Amino acid sequence: MNQLPPLPLTLSQAIARQEGWYADTPNRPQQNNNPGDIEYGPFASCNGAIRSDNGTLIGGFAVYPDAETGFASLITLLKRKPYFEATVRDAISRYAPSTENNTEEYIENVCEWCDVTPETLVSSMRL
């Protein structure tokens, strides 16, 4: 179990919370040292992932050697163009699309935990 930091959370901590990183029961993000539940592929591989959790070269979720590397990869992703220059609403909509998530609930939770609004720019937040 990972201990939840005090509020307000950084954006990466809020994403990790939404993805289940701080849950009391073991889960996929915890087992993979992947607090952002980042999918495995070229980005993850170039940012410390050691393999996919389903054994494929592309797809599945990235497995990181430790939590620090997993968080560093998530922060690096959030600093990239499609996220860093976006509003929280646009960034989360891209990160957690409605075809896979309850995106509106995700946005509401992140905003509450980070003490921001959906229109806050990611570039103005602590990552």
* CB neighbour list of residue 22: distance below 8 Å, 6 or more residues apart: 1, 2, 3, 4, 16
pLDDT of residue 55: 84
Residue at 119: amino acid letter: E
Write the pLDDT tens digit of every residue in 65-77: 999 999 999 999 9
List beta partners, residue 39: 61
pTM of the complete model? 0.96
SS3 124: helix
State the pLDDT confidence band at 104, using cuts at 50, 70 and 90. Answer: very high
Three-state DSSP class for residue 121: strand
Query: Which has more confidence, 1 or 78?
Result: 78
Distance, first Cα to last Cα, the chain: 22
Which pLDDT tens digit goes with each residue over 2-56?
999 999 999 999 999 999 999 999 999 999 999 999 999 999 999 999 999 998 7
User: Which comes out higher in pLDDT, residue 106 or 58?
Assistant: 106
**3-state class (DSSP) for residue 52:** strand
3-state helix, strand, coil in the chain (%, to 5): 45, 5, 50
Percentage with pLDDT > 90 across the chain: 95
Predicted local distance difference test score (pLDDT) of residue 98: 95
Q: What's the mean pLDDT in 93-115?
A: 97
What are the tokens at 58? 């592309």
